[in-house]
Structure 1
Amino acid sequence: MRASTHPIRLRLAGVAVLAASLAFVSACGGSDDNGPTPTASGSAGPVDILGPIDKATGAPVKIGVITEGSSPTADHTNDKRVIPAVVKYLNEHKGGIGGRPIEVTVCETLSDLSKAADCGSQMVDDGVAAVLIGTSAVVEAAWKPLNDAKIPVMLYSSGDPTLLASPTTFVLANPTFGFVDLAIQVAKDAGNKKVSAIVVDVPAALHSAQEVAPPLFQKAGIGYELVRVAPGTADMTPQMQQIADNGSDQVFIIGNDAFCISAMNGLGAVGFTGTISGISQCITDATRKSVASTTLKGMVISASAPIGPDSPSMRLFTKVAETYGKDIDLSNQDGMIMFMLIAGLQTATQGITGDITPATITTTIKSMKETELPGGGGINFRCNGKAVTDSQAVCVRGGLSTTLDDKGQPAAYKVLANTPIPD
């Protein structure tokens, strides 16, 4: 199956940080005009991209996987279909972990804090060697009992300072990229001198905009101004006039689709002609229907995984899903994030020998050399604690961005600010 051309569901790096406050559930969902959502049918074809056969043998390595499942706020059942497909691929072509087959135990949180904590405790009781936590709004609740037990945890993203400081936790997304670093990089690339951040006035969104962003923009030599707008503001023309008057040549929008629609239409009303960038939650069907294509074209947004346009990552994910899975939705970005986590753990533990325990897995991951993150669209990772200052759990610098075409769809993905991680 070729890479999907169906409209894509993009998620922001760090979406779990905002999920509860902004109700960001599924962003960048497209219309049905391009046909049905593609799925992996289970049919096997050429498997060259999967690599040579390297079957795992011996006693299994028990790995826990915590996922959201289906809840009132999000449906992550696709993740559960991805998990066994990726495990079969790794056990057949990558020698599992340390040459031994990976065996997974899955627990669903249902977006419930108490259930998430129970999942973490269950994994401790089950004696797993490591745990992966998929996209979730209750990451920290599941993580705490695992951290207390010193079980290594690999997850996609979190903004929790305690989690990011953990020596047994490994995070595959830079927590500031989608909110701050992308805006700075876009400004540098375009030669822009001042950025106004248009931010929905809720605590989860304001933390990065108020506390994290200002010193980083100052260090980059780029002007910065925060424009706070109350949720539900339909006409933002007065606030956008403020931006037109303050000399900004770029805006970065943080909010859900309704918020971003009002902001972009307000910018159009005041004649703003600068660069528009924002988080991926800005772009949904509603945005495409409500905002002029001339405004959407060229907009730069963050992305978590390179779903959609053809790329080596998309081809591998598709082939794994086709060969080892069934009914996997290839347009769902959370599915590729799950692929990234499972394959990322296997990659980070290559070369492990002897007893495979939480302690030896942690040591092996910390000593890994910098290498490409499977499913990461060309992003490299290294988990030696030196990717981001004061956040030793983070394994990645920079992230992915995409520029929208005139239909509001991602045209291609680009790796930004993924500089080498020092020894």
Structure 2
Amino acid sequence: MLGPVAAAKGAPVRIGMISDGKTPVSDVSIQGRVADATVKWLNEHRSGIGGRPIELVKCDDLADPGKGADCANRMIEENVAAVVVGETSVPDSVWQPLHAAHLPVMLYGSGDAALLTDKESTFVLGDAIFPILGMPLQIARDKGVKKVTPIVIDVPAALGVWNLAPPLFEQAGVALDLVTIPPGTADMTPQMQRIASGGPTVVFIVGTDAFCITALNGLRAVGFTGQVSGFSTCISDATRKAVPGEALKGMIVSATAPVGTDNPSTRLYNAVATTYGKNIDTGDPNGMAMFSTVAGFQTALEGISGDITPATITATIKAMPEKDLPGAGGIGFRCNGKANPQLPAVCSRGALAATLDAKGHPISYRALGSEPIPN
């Protein structure tokens, strides 16, 4: 699965990597371990970038705006050629200094309007709209329900994209009842009771696994019987342990990758994680999202030659043809600004949707909204 040996040689190409790391309310430290493992694989089997080895410069922003800016400034001081960004609660603090320095930035996903509308040097691999807004709308249509109730963690990274929601929902004839809850809220029963007594609705949860655990248990406690769905970050081993099976069975989750099933994407990721990594839970979608981001960055730069600088990296990514995004279950990506002309930083269309069994594992995946990206 790792492919033939094709070792990178010569002077390294320094690439930055920023994510939240471990904070009091969330833990995405797996992303740093996955980034290290992915870089080792790319350097040994995919010739790095332009035949040269990748040298990773990592920084955890700890979900703190000041630390996020510090991480960004460190990347500039360390003369990295580009930055890949994982899960971060402070995307604007991270992105602004990097953008001002004209450093190319690649992320798996973002709801920040400034990032999504950047035409210059920002590349968002995942469809920023469909997995959050399009999927609950599609579920509501499929179920014949006329209302969607998003339960969203109250942080800027999660809330930004919902500013685009009202006209989309109005056009679809579906009511929108947005419920925002601060991170770290221990008891969501009052909010869940209001939802349960508010008539038929499709619930869509957006937050960390800890946030989703509290929301799911709250919905169960008040006897909510409608369709529950959520963003990919909801489901982890912690969720499966903390939420009873009857609350997970039939839940529909947007997926960054086909985690938990046997397919080419997961076989490759598992091979990389077990060969080059340590302490990597391959069932954690945050890990596979980082694999897709780092491997997708390298895939977008296949064929680059000559000087490898922020400018040549940006130009090469913009000129790439459409390719399969590593680890994404067949979703294609192309960063020419035409996947969504209103959001030129976005590089793909559609997303995977997974239906869970009583153990919280996917029964199956299906691609929704995925279409070729034009020239």
Cα distance change, pair 117–174 in 1 and its aligned pair in 2 (3 A): same
Cα distance change, pair 286–338 in 1 and its aligned pair in 2 (3 A): closer
Structure 1 position 349 matched with structure 2 position 301: yes
Which runs of structure 2 are paired with 1:252-291 in the superposition (5 Å)?
A: 252-253=204-205, 256=211, 257-263=213-219, 266=222, 268=224, 275-280=227-232
Paired position in structure 2 for 1:99: 51
Structure 1 position 313 matched with structure 2 position 265: yes
Which runs of structure 2 are paired with 1:120-159 in the superposition (5 Å)?
A: 120-159=72-111
Greater CA drift, 111-120 or 274-283 = 274-283
Residue from 325, 328, 334 that aligns with 2:286: 334
Residue from 117, 120, 126 that aligns with 1:173: 126
Q: How much does 1:99 deviate?
A: 1.6
Q: How much does 1:336 deviate?
A: 1.6
Paired position in structure 2 for 1:45: none
Residue from 320, 323, 327 that aligns with 1:371: 323
* Unmatched segments (≥5 aa) in structure 2: none
Instruction: Name the SS of the counterpart of 1:329 in structure 2.
Output: coil
Paired position in structure 2 for 1:108: 60
Equivalent-residue separation in structure 2 for 1:282 and 1:371 (angstroms): 28
Cα distance change, pair 229–149 in 1 and its aligned pair in 2 (3 A): closer
Equivalent-residue separation in structure 2 for 1:303 and 1:183 (angstroms): 13
Cα distance change, pair 218–419 in 1 and its aligned pair in 2 (3 A): farther
Which runs of structure 2 are paired with 1:9-24 in the superposition (5 Å)?
A: none
Paired position in structure 1 for 2:136: 183
Is the contact between residue 137 and residue 174 of structure 2 (CA under 8 Å) also seen in structure 1? no
Is the contact between residue 260 and residue 282 of structure 1 (CA under 8 Å) also seen in structure 2? no
Which amino acid in structure 1 is aligned with residue 323 of structure 2? T
Q: How much does 1:207 deviate?
A: 6.0
Instruction: Name the SS of the counterpart of 2:305 in structure 1.
Output: coil
Which amino acid in structure 1 is aligned with residue 114 of structure 2? T
Which amino acid in structure 1 is aligned with residue 131 of structure 2? G
Is the contact between residue 251 and residue 275 of structure 1 (CA under 8 Å) also seen in structure 2? yes
Larger Rg: 1
Is the contact between residue 133 and residue 156 of structure 1 (CA under 8 Å) also seen in structure 2? yes
Percent identity for Structure 1 against Structure 2:
45
Q: How much does 1:292 deviate?
A: 6.9
State the superposition RMSD in angstroms.
2.9
Paired position in structure 2 for 1:234: 189
Q: How much does 1:89 deviate?
A: 1.2
Q: How much does 1:222 deviate?
A: 4.1
Is the contact between residue 235 and residue 360 of structure 2 (CA under 8 Å) also seen in structure 1? yes
TM-score (norm 2): 0.85
Which runs of structure 2 are paired with 1:191-210 in the superposition (5 Å)?
A: 192=144, 194-199=146-151, 208-209=161-162
Is the contact between residue 63 and residue 90 of structure 2 (CA under 8 Å) also seen in structure 1? yes
Residue from 410, 416, 421 that aligns with 2:362: 410
Q: What do the CA deviations read for 1:205-262 (whole angstroms, capped 9, x no partner)?
A: 66655x422322344x443342658785525455434324xxx6x4445574333433
Greater CA drift, 328-337 or 350-359 = 328-337
Higher RCO (CA-CA < 8 Å; seq separation 6+): 1
Residue from 166, 175, 192 that aligns with 1:224: 175
Paired position in structure 2 for 1:14: none
Structure 1 position 53 matched with structure 2 position 5: yes
* Unmatched segments (≥5 aa) in structure 1: 1-48
Is the contact between residue 227 and residue 239 of structure 1 (CA under 8 Å) also seen in structure 2? no
